[in-house]
Structure 1
Amino acid sequence: MKKLSLISEFKIYQSIEELQPETQALLQKAIEARKNAYAPYSNFKVGAAILLVDGTIIIGSNQENAAYPSGLCAERVAIYQAGALYPTKKIKQIAISAGSSSTTTSEPVPPCGACRQALVEYEIKQNENIAIFFMGEVGEIIESKSINNLLPLIFNKKLL
């Protein structure tokens, strides 16, 4: 038997003002996208914004459906749109903002497991880390230098 230890490191910012201007602008786009989410069942709205290396920004918001689980999370809406519209452009950063209609979400909300798997696929595809920033509606923002940091034991094509 041998032991495997995994360490993930994150930066925590107290407010959006502590971030670089480029990341502040990206988070603002995620906040705007969150407001356009279609979430009549969960009342939990999520917005995502993706910054490509050329400065292009792609947004997505969660889109629910009465026939669960036919809806799609904001992160996957944005990443699939980036892949469909700009298949050869690398992704630099992803920003996420989430909040509930019934209470103020003041803790950072990370991507769900399905979104982590979808996001890491693009990090593998481009063979470069993608920085991810996530927050609630207000409060702290968490930064990870890599999607793999959120999903360290990834399922990938090498396993197929």
Structure 2
Amino acid sequence: MSTQKKISIDLTVYDSCEELCADYKILIDAAVAARKKAYAPYSNFLVGASVLLENGQIIEGNNQENASYPSGLCAERVAVFYAGAKFPNVKIKAIAVSATSLNNKLDTPAAPCGNCRQAISEYEFKQHAPIKVLLMGETGSVVECSSLADLLPLGFNGSYLK
């Protein structure tokens, strides 16, 4: 007998980053600063990410493109992997992502790609604690998810490999 289930998520949408608490406003500002340093000569799509660690450190990353497209790396993974390398036993509390295009103004949030969702999910699984996700375009509203699991329901993790 089959059962149909529905998956839904709750998001908080802020009209602007000015509505965020002080810590998350700083985190968004760091993502915007990182975005401005992105290397995106091929797509003209600049992304910055900043990670807030439990120890108060903020780690930034931005997308790094390459003429051989698969060789580049997204901002979210740059930031998360650097945080994991520099502070391997410190939990990630939140990640903020800001994206824009040099071809047109982006005033709506852009969510992480599937590879980045999987990479961040690995850290949630590793630390047994959710990672808050804040998403913003160049301007406009900010979307807050309480956990990466909201963006990757039915995610794959290390429990399947035991």
TM-score normalised over the length of structure 1: 0.98
Percentage of identical aligned residues: 51
| Structure 1 consecutive aligned stretches of length 4 or more whose deviation exceeds 2 Å | none
Aligned equivalent of 2:7? 6
In structure 1, distance between residues paired with 2:78 and 2:55: 20
Alignment-derived partner of residue 103 in structure 1: 104
Shift of 1:159: 2.1
Number of aligned positions between the proteins: 160
Distance in structure 1 (CA, Å) of the matches to 2:29 and 2:35: 10
Deviations 1:10-64 (CA, angstroms, capped at 9, x unpaired): 0000011100011000100000000000000000000000000111000000000
Cross-structure match for 1:132:
133
- 1:156 deviation in Å? 1.2
Secondary structure of the structure 2 residue equivalent to 1:118: helix
In structure 2, the residue matched to 1:37 is: 38
Question: How big is each residue's C-alpha offset from its partner over 1:98-143, in whole Å with a ceiling of 9 and x where there is no partner?
Answer: 0000111001111011100000100010000110100100000000
Deviates more, 1:1-10 or 1:146-155: 1-10
Whether 1:86 and 2:70 are equivalent positions in the alignment is: no
Segment drifting more, 149-158 vs 70-79: 149-158
Match runs of 1:38-77 below 5 Å? 38-77=39-78
Q: Tell me the distance in 1 between the aligned counterparts of 2:4 and 2:158.
A: 25
Q: CA deviation at 1:158?
A: 2.0
The normalised TM-score by structure 2 is: 0.97
The aligned counterpart of 2:146 is: 145
Letter of the structure 2 residue corresponding to residue 55 of structure 1: G
Q: How many Å separate the matches in 2 of 1:58 and 1:33?
A: 10
Q: Name structure 2 gaps, 5 residues minimum.
A: none
Aligned to 2:21: 20
